[in-house]
Chain A
Amino acid sequence: MNQPRPSKIQGATPVSKLAPTSTDRSIAQVVAPAVTVGQSQVKYDASTYLTRAGGTAILYNGDRTWAKVTLTLRTAGPVAVGQSADLQPVLSGKGELLQTDVPAVFNVAKGDRLYIASTSVNPVGVLIEGYPWLETITGLIGSLTGVTPLAPGKAG
């Protein structure tokens, strides 16, 4: 008779990088610090993005817990950046217009996306630096101010 065989895959219980949240709206809560930090949240990412004429593209998709995104336009533009998925027309004011050689810094939380749009080809310097400690600080401040943090895995 065949016996169930244990899995060959050993290790700790998988822990989501997403901290738990409560669905009880009557209780003020903050998210507890995540117990693990993914390596991708610590590494920086430096690149040059080339815009194209027309459309709106995703520049950063908010895959890190917190990230500092620094954008530097290398040519005359115009290039608009913002959280709207449709930044066209570029000069309409839907996004922030980058200034040539002036770094623009965005602190982007997880899930928030950064979009970019232009009317021509422009190189934009992109520097993405993770804030893995910002989540921890958020949780600690919540504790100090008396707001009960939710423990990981105890989402209400």
Chain B
Amino acid sequence: MAYPQLNPDQYAVNTYGFIPFSTPLSSPGDIYESPQSGGAFAVGPNSDIANVRMAYFDDQATPGFMQFVTLSPRRALVGTVNARNEASYAPSARPGKILFWAEDIYDPNYRPTGFVANTDHIEFIAPVIEVYEYLKMPTSLGPARIDKEFVFQNYNFNAGVFYLVVPYYGRKYCYVNFTNRNQTTPNTMGIVGVNYAITQDGSAHPYHQETTIRVAAAVNSNIGVTQIIRASANGMFDALVFSLTNAGPAPLRITMSDDPL
């Protein structure tokens, strides 16, 4: 485990209705495990990761006895899945617990095309993976994810270009509102949608795919920019990359939704 995992048994002992597995991803390989059987499984409301892979013990899934299912904002799993702690996966001989991990790709080593290592800066909003395991079958499941909002105002750099990477997995609509409140200097702002790939980030041409949504252009003092990003018009991305050339102040509000508004 790359992070301290909560104890699912404690939620059962305290007779909670669900176990909220939630953490910012520190690496794409983070895996949760649950020794508790569940009546339903769903992507949590605060999750940035859209597709969550889940594995559970299945006698008929030879040779490894591991069965897989994918949870997404549009598809929860309602039905009892037993945590078979008495059984073992093969060939690892590990207990047949229920496992969760992000199916979406996350690459904290991603660098945008044109990134200058010595002068430019990049910051990632680490995507949160959140899965709810219900300890009994719920009578209903609400919409999976909230409309998430990110708000920024000042940016910690003093030279080059500043890149801000915001998770956007599975989102279908985004409202971006940017205003340059630096009274003396224009701020050159651009937006790129990126889809991560399994690649060598150190190579000259990594496989990540970038789609320009807003060509970087100067925003003068006290001028606001509004950008609407729609899945039908712009596409769907793993992350949005905002590039800036001034530390601010420059309020940036990003509101994203699963609804194709």
Contact check, B137 vs A100: say whether CB atoms are below 8 A apart. Answer: yes
* Cβ-neighbour of A121 out of B35, B38, B80, B86 (below 8 A): B35
Is the beta-carbon distance between B86 and A75 smaller than 8 angstroms? no
Q: Is the CB of A119 within 8 A of B82?
A: yes
Q: Which B residue's beta carbon lies closest to that of A51? A: B12
Asked if B2 is at the interface of the complex by the 8 Å CB criterion, the answer is no
Chain A neighbourhood of B15, CB < 8 A = 74-75, 123
| A residues near B13, Cβ cutoff 8 Å | 50, 121, 123
Tell me the chain A residues, 5-64 only, with Cβ under 8 Å from chain B: 50, 53-54
B96 to A, closest residue via Cβ: A119
Q: Which residues of chain A in 71-120 are interfacial with respect to chain B, using CB atoms and an 8 Å cutoff?
A: 74-78, 88-91, 100-101, 119-120
Instruction: Tell me the minimal C-beta distance from A31 to chain B in angstroms.
Output: 41
Structural contact, B85 and A120, CB atoms closer than 8 A: yes
| Known contacts A100-B136, A123-B13, A77 near B85 by CB under 8 Å | no
Contact of A122 with B by CB under 8 A: yes
If the complex has contacts A76-B36, A76-B38, are A122 and B12 also in contact, measured as CB distance less than 8 A?
yes
For chain B, the count of residues having a C-beta within 8 Å of the partner chain is 18
In the complex, which residues of chain B have a beta carbon less than 8 angstroms from the beta carbon of A54? 85-86
Residue in chain A with minimal CB distance to B137: A100
With a cutoff of 8 Å between Cβ atoms, the chain B residues found around residue A119 in the complex are: 82-86
Q: How far is the CA of A98 from the CA of B178 in the complex (A)?
A: 57
Say yes or no: B136 contacts A53, CB within 8 Å: no
CA distance A121 to B83 in the complex (A): 11
Query: Is there contact, CB below 8 Å, between A75 and B35?
Result: no
Cβ of B38: which chain A residues have Cβ within 8 Å of it?
76
Is there a chain A Cβ closer than 8 Å to B135's Cβ? yes
- Minimum CB–CB distance for A113 against chain B, Å: 22
Q: Which of A90, A91, A121 contacts B36 (CB 8 A)?
A: A121
Identify 13 new A-B residue pairs, CB closer than 8 A, beyond the known A89-B86, A91-B82, A120-B35. A53-B85, A54-B85, A75-B135, A75-B136, A76-B36, A76-B39, A76-B136, A88-B86, A100-B136, A119-B82, A120-B9, A120-B83, A121-B9
B residues near A, CB below 8 A?
9, 12-13, 15, 35-39, 80, 82-86, 135-137
The 10 closest A-B pairs by CB, nearest first: A76-B37, A121-B9, A75-B135, A100-B136, A119-B86, A119-B85, A53-B85, A75-B12, A76-B39, A121-B12
